[in-house]
Every structure is written in C-alpha cells, then in structure tokens.
Amino acid sequence: MLAYSSSFGLKSKQNHKMKIAEQTNLSIIKRLLIVTGVIVASFLSAVVLIKIAELLGMNTSEFHGITAKISPLMVTMFTLFALTQFLIVWGVMKFIYKKPLLSLGFKGPILLPILIGTAIGITSSASMYAIYHLLGAEVNLAWSIPDDVPFIKLAGWFLFAMTYMLTINSIIEELVFRAFPLFQFDDLKISRIYIIVFVSILFSAVHFLLEPFNWGAFFSRTITAILFCVAFDHWRSIWLVTGMHNGVNFVGFFLSGNHELGGLMRSTIENGLPDYARLIVKLVISVIIILVFYAVAKWQQKTGKELLGLTCHQQV
C-alpha cells in the first residue's frame, strides 16, 4: 500500500511534516462530516441557483455539459455558482482549520503544470478513441461549423468556452472534490485509497444532479476521478489536476458538435463497443497513467529532483 506525503517546489519533507502537525486536531468522523457538509452545501447551492435560473426562464440543459448554451444568464449563473463554491471552502478553511485557501494546492508553479496536465488529459481521452477504432468500432469525425458563422464570432466562442467555462469549472471541481477532501486526512495514518474512492464516488454522483442517472457514466467518471485524486495526492498541485480535467473535458467538448461551446467537430461511433468494454478500456488507460505517475514519483524520491517545479515525497 502506498503512503503519500507531497509538497511544492523547494519545500523539504521536514517543512511538510511541520505543516501537517499544525493541522487542526479533529477525529476521522468529524472530518468526514466536514467533507460531507461541504459537498452537501455545494449540492444545495447548485440546486438553488438552478431553481433561480428556471424561474428566469432558463432551460437547465443549457447549464451543464456539452449541451450547454452560452448566454448572459447562463454565464451569470455559472459565475455565481463558482463564487459560491470558493466561498464555501474558504469559510471552512478560515474558520475551522485556520488556514488560507491557497494552502489547498494553489501555491507553486501554475502555467507549466496546467499545460502538462492538459496534455495528459487530452492524450488519455484521445487514446480511447484510437483503441475503439483498433477494436473494430468505426469512429467518424466531421466538422460541425455552420457556414454562416463568422470566424471572429466562432473564435470568440471557442476561446471563452476553453479559457473561462472549462477552466473555472475544472478548478471548482478539483477544489471541492480533490484538494479540500484530501487535505483533511494528511496527518492521519489511514489508507489513502479509502478517501480517494469516497471523494471520487461523490464527484461522479454530483453530475447526476443535472442529468439522468446512468451506470456507465457513473463508473466512467469515478475512474477519471480516481486518476485525478492520485495525481493530486502525489504532487498537491491543483493546477496539474485542473489541466488534466481540462484536457479530458476538452476532447469531449471539441468533439461534441456544439460549436458555441468549442465543439468544432462532431464524433460518431458506429458498430461501437458495449459500455462494459469502454469502461475496461478507460480503466486500463487510467491504470497505465497511474503507474507512470508512480514511476515518476519514485524517481523523484530517489533523486530528490523537482519535476515541473513540483516535489513529490512519496514513500513506498
């Protein structure tokens, strides 16, 4: 079983241990209740904002996923939702843990971890389509850009969707479902896998607040969440996992056919694989990436070197 203890940049193991020792002395039950409370508060804030949006005449399908439709009302509600999530976590960190929000993985390098994380996310998602094709599925791609849409308008939609909608959404979810929950248990001798699975299931479940439940989608998101959790637990960089989240979502949005949300192409899969086969493909790819993370972390542990400006103190 692996035990992780990560920090940033030039921080030593000793400094990291001192930081952990200062964490509020709370029992496991209390910490689980705090995490659950934050998740519930996040759910309730989303429900309230959705109800307000409905009263203002907005279709909730325009608020989430590849069917989202960019409008002033949608952007306003999304911004309010983002601010609410930050305020919830900030309040708990300030008044319960007496620590700054920045301690949840915001310190350290930003741009390079985001770029590398995005490349990892895109590679993992794109490789699934390649494997589908190798296993006999017909993956067809077609441009989805209407002829009457000016290039400037299209470029504006694309940049806004990619830099604002996608990135802010990724930061929110990584803060609420990765950084904050994993932070709670740094100073406890408890197997990290239980915490990782717990928060990953919650992450997957929250998506069905806005869409019908589907077992395939539930397990698929849970696998992805576990991958993100392992990355964060190694390097404690919210920017790295935000990049990974962006990369995964980018492929989905880019191939969605929704040109107002960055979907410049539409993908269709004929003679596709059954859901269980797709889940196996995703699981295998995720396990390979996790093993690569493990190898890199082990190399860092032996050499004491940084990677992307991040230091990983993994103990095997």
| pLDDT, tens digit, 9 for 90 and up, residues 230-239 | 999 989 999 9
Of residues 265 and 225, more confidently modeled:
225
Helix residue spans in 96-163 (DSSP H):
111-134, 151-160
Q: Where is 269: in which H helix or E strand?
A: strand 265-270
The model's pLDDT over 64-120, given as tens digits with 9 standing for 90+, comes to 666 677 788 888 888 999 999 999 999 999 999 899 999 999 988 999 999 999 999
Going by pLDDT thresholds of 50, 70 and 90, the confidence category of residue 11 is: very low
- pLDDT grade, residue 163 (50/70/90)? confident
For 212-228, what is the mean pLDDT?
Answer: 92
For residue 284, what are its two tokens?
């295998």
Given a cut of 70, whether residue 15 has pLDDT beyond it is no
Question: Phi and psi for 267 in degrees, rounded to 5?
Answer: -105, 140
Which of the four pLDDT bands, split at 50, 70 and 90, describes residue 141? confident
Tell me what the mean pLDDT of segment 197-206 comes to: 86
Least confidently predicted of 37-51, 126-140, 188-202: 188-202
Q: What is the pLDDT of residue 64?
A: 62
Q: How many CA atoms lie within 13 A of 233 on its CB side?
A: 29
Give residue 25's pLDDT. 57
Which pLDDT belongs to residue 2? 40
User: In degrees rounded to 5, what are phi and psi of residue 102?
Assistant: -65, -20
Look at residue 290 in the predicted model and tell me its pLDDT: 94
Non-local (6+) Cβ contacts of 32 within 8 A are none
Of the given ranges (81-95, 206-220, 283-297), which has the lowest mean pLDDT?
206-220
pLDDT at 66: 66
Average pLDDT across the chain, whole number = 83
| Phi, psi (rounded to 5 degrees) for 2 | -90, 145
Model confidence over 235-273: pLDDT tens digits?
999 999 999 999 998 898 888 877 777 788 888 887 778
pLDDT tier for residue 136 given thresholds of 50, 70 and 90:
confident
DSSP tally for the chain: helices H, then strands E = 11, 6
Q: Is the pLDDT confidence value at 285 over 90?
A: yes
pLDDT at 190: 67
pLDDT at 259: 77
What's phi and psi for 302, nearest 5 deg? -75, -40
Report d(CA 289, CA 255) in Å as an integer. Answer: 23
Domain boundaries, the chain: 3-315
CA-to-CA separations, 9 to 6, 230, 231, 236, 309, in angstroms, rounded: 10, 19, 16, 11, 5
Contact 306, 300 (CB under 8 A): yes
The pLDDT value given to residue 58: 80
What was the pLDDT predicted at 13? Answer: 46
Select the more confidently predicted residue: 275 or 175.
175
